[in-house]
Amino acid sequence: MELWYSEQHTDYVRFSLKIKEQLFCGKSEFQQIDILDTYEFGRALTLDGYLMVTEKDEFIYHDMIVHVPMATNLNIKKVLVIGAGDGGTIRELTRYQGIEQIDMVEIDEMVVKACRKFLPQTACKLEDPRVRIYYEDGLKYVRRKENEYDLILVDSTDPFGPGEGLFTKEFYGNCYNALKEDGILVNQHESTYYDAYVEAMKRAHKRIMETFPIARVYQAHIPTYPSGHWLFGYASKKYDPLLDLKEKEWNALGLTTKYYNTQLHKGCFALPNYVTEQLNEA
């Protein structure tokens, strides 16, 4: 018998992985959660049928969401992570000795439980003493914070479903308020190769631009995400991700990374023309 998992990337495009076995299947108050063991990509987490992480390519996403802001401001001490139930973002953050506190706000406890059990590759550092996990709506959490964080990472699902509130102007405004005067916000910013995602990405970019004085977009290549081409949003009250890059200092930390390096940091803000055009239209 052949078992295949398919994700509908558009109405007319499917992405399929051959499955060895299904390791976890659960329905929480918020979503359907599955963990699959695949032949090519190792273990994979899906939420409501959408692929979130695989063991084989998660390093790209997690390197890029964490190291780009960290190399821009090496004095980051207090970090807020929204979403990130698989733990991969936390794992990368815990590699920095200078970080004193990581607050993680994940709406769905079942995701964390399932990942702790079946995705230790990403969930391995959730026990770090600097990490505090709050199970609540990210929008609600951040609303009550003011001038508290050096960095906010929004490691969310897509702008439909439980992550919807994390692509809104009120959320970006609340983040602005929760950040210190030199704070940085990085969010997963979707992709625009397929038309269906373009409007959501533009709206998100417009809202961030209206909220932060510095707002950029950078890219990475993530094979299991729709089109394989993925965007991140970088926003800050003070630091420009290129002008303020601490290249020497970051390299002196001696962190080994599989995807990120400071050369790539400088390159990833150079975007294809069609993406630049879409951003200009936002």
Partner 1 sequence: MNYTQHNAPIHEALLRHRKNRVVPFDVPGHKGGRGNTELTEFLGIDCLKADVNSMKPLDNLIHPVSVIKAAEELAAEAFGADAVFFIVNGTTAAVQAMIMSTCKSGEKIIMPRNVHRSSINALVVCGAIPVYVNPGVNHALGIPLGMSVEDIKKAIIDNPEAKAILINNPTYYGICSNLREIVLLAHEAGMKVLVDEAHGTHFYFGENLPVSAMAAGADMSAVSMHKTGGSLTQSSFLLCKNDISPGYVRQIINLTQTTSGSYLLLSSLDLARKNMYLNGKAMVEKTILLAEYAREEINKQGGYYAFSSELMNDDTIFDFDLTKLSVHTAEIGLAGVEVYDLLRDEYDIQIEFGDMGNILAMITAGDRHFEIERLISALSEIKRRFSKKMVGMLNHEYIDPEVVFTPQKAFYHDKKSVALVSAAGHIAGEFVMCYPPGIPILAPGERITKDIIDYIRYAKEKGSSLTGPQDMKVEYLNIIDF
Residues belonging to the active site: 155
Name the minimum Å distance from CB 176 to partner 1. 9
Q: Which of 175, 190, 120, 184 is nearest to 151 (CA)?
A: 184
Interacting positions 103-142 with partner 1 (CB under 8 A) = 137, 139-140
Interface region with partner 1, contact rule CB under 8 A, candidates 150-158, 172-180, 193-201, 263-271: 172-180
**6 burial level (CB within 10 Å; 0-12, 13-18, 19+):** exposed
For residues 139 and 129, give the distance between their C-alpha atoms in angstroms, rounded to a whole number. Answer: 25
Does residue number 148 form part of the binding site for partner 1 (CB under 8 A)?
no
Nearer to partner 1, 7 or 137 (CB): 137
Q: Binding partner 1 by CB under 8 A: which of 177, 227, 261, 262? A: 177
Interface region with partner 1, contact rule CB under 8 A, candidates 90-98, 125-133, 157-165, 273-281: 157-165
Does residue number 164 form part of the binding site for partner 1 (CB under 8 A)?
yes
3-state secondary structure (DSSP) of residue 117: helix
Q: Binding partner 1 by CB under 8 A: which of 50, 96, 171, 230? A: 171
Q: Which residues contact 46 (CB under 8 A, 6 or more apart)?
A: 5, 7, 33, 34, 35, 36, 52
Nearer to partner 1, 87 or 162 (CB): 162
Nearer to partner 1, 206 or 229 (CB): 206
φ/ψ (deg, to 5) at 104: -110, 130
Give, in degrees to the nearest 5, the angle at Cα 19 between 114 and 56.
Answer: 70
- Rounded to whole angstroms, what are the CA distances from 69 to 72, 126, 237, 250? 5, 21, 13, 11
Q: Which residues form the interface with partner 1 (CB under 8 A)?
A: 137, 139-140, 143, 162, 164-165, 168-171, 173-174, 177
